[in-house]
A and B are shown apart, each in its own frame.
Chain A
Amino acid sequence: MKSQPISPEESEPNSTGALIRLVADLLENGDYGQRVLEVDAENVRVLELNGALSATVPMAEIHNARNEPVVGGGRLEITTKTGEKLALISYTHTIAARFSEAARGIEQLSKGEELLISLKPQRTHCEKCKRLLPEIDGVCPACVDRGKTLWRIAQFMVPYKVWAFTLAGLAFLTTTLNLLPPIIQGKLIDEVMQKHKDVDLLYQMVGGWVIIAICASFVSITRDRIVARLAGHIAADLRSTVYRAIEFLQLTYFDKKQVGAITSRVTTDTDRVWNFLVEGIPYFLLNGLMLLGVSAFLFWTNWFLALCILAPIPIIIGIAIRFWRPMAQMFYKVGQKWARFYIHLNESLNGIRVVKAFANEDSEFAKFTKRNVELREAGVSADARWFTIFGGMIFLSSLGTIICWLVGGAMVVRRELTLGEFYRIHAYLALVYGPIQWFAAINNWFSRAMAGADRIFEVIDMEKESYRHDDGQKVDIVGEVTFENVRFGYDKSNPVLKDINFTAKPGEMIGLVGKSGAGKSTTINLIARFYEPDSGSIKIDGIDYREMELQSLRRQIGIVLQEPFLFNGTIAENIAYGKPGADMLEIIEAARAANAHNFIMMKPDGYDQMVGERGAKLSGGERQRVSIARAILHDPRILILDEATSSVDVETEKQIQEAIGRLVAGRTTFAIAHRLSTLRNADRLVVLERGKIVEVGTHEELMEKKGVFHGLVKTQSEIQEIIGFDLAQAEAVAKG
């Protein structure tokens, strides 16, 4: 049976009274096919598509339910109160998030709670053409309303409408002026050389020709200057609009996309759109008008000859349309090979030290050669095909000229056509056959521009962070932070944090402890509201932070990251990033408090020293202290420290710890510590394990408890060095 991702109508709740009804896309044996999960207040059932019951689990026997992520999908696992684990139903990634939500629903029902889940139907297929959508709930590129998209991108020309209309007028003028010289040339042959043999008339006509040529050049130069101006402005406007939209996108968007893919929306996609607007449309307009004008002139001169010499045109257009798609695909393939080639080249050059250290030059060259040969073959194949098709089109174009001489020449001999008329027709041929070869590309040009525009509008229309939420409250934070039943997962099918409950008092320093992947970074991401809880709430001073204005909230939260990011600029600019408009004295005071002042003063340019891209010209410890100075100047009420002292030497760590000590004073602080070193001054520790809080207490309390934290301390070989006393001493301290 052919399988496709489940369409929405298949997963809608039915009328059988089931509270949850989902269709899975894998059979029990792993084949593609459909099975149904039905949940009501009494039972969880799995049904085959023919209605046969495969499994039933009474709700009263369920201890918990979860989506177990597996490679390429997931499965719904239920643990019964007797400890039995049941792998109930498997499914692909396409619908895993929905089954995760269903698992949450099953847990709620099994605990006798109200069913509070969201199972919004997913749109995986275009409702119109049934084609698979490139993104769930996205737009169908085949059915997108191109007129509407065109109208939207045309709005970018509105501020420049005078230029745009001038451009259209000049295009019309160019066409007219290009049609005139062949008429003059025809007249010169017929009237001057053959009929009147009048040199004065020759001078007059050539004079007129010169004036037309000057006018045509003037119009052409003006047109191109307007194109350049229009192109520059529209390209800049498009880039600004897209960049501004990207800035306010939710972080989940950045998690799913690579930076390169996002960058291409600002560069490649905007390029495609303005290129079409500013060059494509005028090209089409100019050559379309030319074709119409020339055809009209040809038919006016001699309809029979016009018909004969234009006969190859439908064949040329037919060939172009027939071969354009496979050609485009071949060039796409060449693009893929180029990308593969670049990746290898970049990697091997960036890692040249490693290549040399392992004496792997030969194997790297062998890989390079393979990529190079692949690229060569793809390029040769595409170019060979292209030149064959292009050659055929050139031949057909030349047929027009041959037909012109064959039929037209005979007509001149039979005096059915004057030599001047023949010359004029011959001159017009080039004007027709030149652009005609490219007309087939217009559709592709148009499609690419529309696809680029759709991607741009997708970003522009995407749900943004409620950065300047009109209803949001502007509050001066005191600093109490409360997690209430918080649950969150980057992938909704796989929650990273579950049932998180705790309160940090104003000014308190909370240490977040746990193994890698326990949920520490996710917790601080939620505090900074880079993400919002899937369920439950985070309250600041008793107010759900989703009700606060995001800009106002973030201005009162400071972050010092493990790998601090500095912008390419001076040290002073980077420190002042925490408080735009800060004066030099404030910057210096912040740097002093961060133990950064002395090393900055030792730099040749002091605070004007450029830090390089991502701060690469500074050492790790220096970058860290600049970022602490930035946070000090920012003066936040809530501070987040993400393992600020990793990868630095002991002396630098001491300086950073001093700086941090000054920074945290009086602020509610959340500190992540893999090495436990930043916990020296923590008031309380929150220990996370697999997304849940397992212990909360002071260092002494947790050591005495001999639970998870005790285990972490015990296994940490660096404990003596980092905390300054060994386990035995710690236990002694705990016992008082």
Chain B
Amino acid sequence: MTTPTPTNIKLFHQPRDVMRMTVNDEYSFVQVEPRWAAPLSHTKSFLGLMNSKGEEVFLLPSLDELGPENREVIDLELSRRYLTSTVHKILSAKVEFGATYWTVVTERGERDFVVQSLQENAQWMGERHLLLVDIDANRFEIPDLDLLDPKSRHFIDSIL
């Protein structure tokens, strides 16, 4: 049985909204789900494809190794599974009454949210990599503070 590789697998939806993976047209996994091994620190690499029992059937080293058709299918699945928003700009952030009130621009659009207890809910994933978790457990990621504009950085610097 051929071992899966980034080039011999084929990903497609069949039936609708169920991702299927065939390997070298030899055999097929009827339902696979993508799971990042480290979604915050390795954003484009180490993607596990898990079968319906939750067992990994293939670990893709890098998304870039996939062909365009497979990539389109996997991107759609990933966009459905990972709803963490990436913050591009901070429009306002203030501490009031023990909570922090944020207005940010993300890749999904603009969003207001409240973070209680920054000590627990502002998680530093690296020196300049920040994850904010709001009161409803929605996640807002700032992959690199240095990529933010000076005003946005100032908001972070004045609070954290």
Contact = CB atoms under 8 A, between A and B. Distances in A.
Interface of A: 1-5, 26, 29-33, 70-73, 75, 77, 82-87, 90, 92-94, 131-136, 141-142, 258, 261, 326, 328-330, 332-333, 336, 339-340, 370, 447, 451, 455
Nearest to A2: B110
A134 B109 contact: no
B1 interface: no
Nearest to B119: A339
A30 to B, nearest CB: 5
10 contacts: A29-B79, A30-B83, A31-B108, A32-B111, A70-B83, A77-B17, A84-B15, A86-B17, A134-B99, A455-B98
**Top 3 nearest A-B pairs by Cβ distance?**
A141-B97, A72-B83, A32-B109
A73 B109 CA distance: 16
B29 interface: no
Interface in B100-116: 101, 106, 108-114, 116
A142 B85 CA distance: 28
Interface in B105-160: 106, 108-114, 116-120, 122, 124, 127, 135-139, 157-160
A32 B105 CA distance: 11
B44 interface: no
A258 B119 CA distance: 11
A73 B95 contact: no
Contacts of B83: 26, 30, 70-73, 90, 92
A142 B109 contact: no
A135 B109 contact: no
A75 B77 CA distance: 12
A332 B80 contact: no
Given A85-B16, A134-B97, 20 more contacts: A1-B109, A2-B110, A26-B83, A30-B79, A30-B80, A30-B83, A31-B109, A71-B39, A84-B17, A86-B17, A93-B137, A93-B138, A132-B101, A132-B112, A136-B136, A142-B97, A258-B120, A340-B119, A451-B98, A455-B98
Interface of B (DSSP majority class) = mixed
Contact of B138 (A72, A82, A370): A72
Contacts of A328: 95
B84 A332 contact: no
A132 B101 CA distance: 8
A336 B159 contact: yes
Contacts of B42: none
Contacts of B79: 29-30
Contacts of A447: 97
A333 B159 contact: yes
Among A1, A30, A85, A328, max chain B CB count under 10 A is at A30
Interface of B: 15-18, 39, 79-85, 94-99, 101, 106, 108-114, 116-120, 122, 124, 127, 135-139, 157-160
B157 to A, nearest CB: 8
A87 B136 contact: no
A32 B116 CA distance: 22
A336 B99 contact: no
Given A4-B111, A70-B82, A87-B17, A332 B116 contact: no
B159 A332 contact: yes
A616 B27 CA distance: 55
Nearest to B139: A72
A333 B16 CA distance: 50
Given A132-B101, A141-B98, A72 B85 contact: yes
B118 A336 contact: yes
Given A5-B136, A32-B109, A87 B160 contact: no
A335 to B, nearest CB: 9
B135 A134 contact: yes
A370 B127 contact: yes
Nearest to B117: A261
Given A132-B114, A133-B114, A72 B97 contact: no
Contact of A32 (B80, B84, B108): B108
A78 B124 CA distance: 37
B15 A85 contact: yes
B99 A141 contact: yes
Contacts of A33: 109
A336 B17 contact: no
B81 to A, nearest CB: 5
A3 B109 CA distance: 7
B15 to A, nearest CB: 4
Contacts of B159: 329, 332-333, 336
A413 B111 CA distance: 68
Contacts of A332: 95, 159
A30 B114 contact: no
B110 to A, nearest CB: 4
A129 to B, nearest CB: 12
A84 B31 CA distance: 11
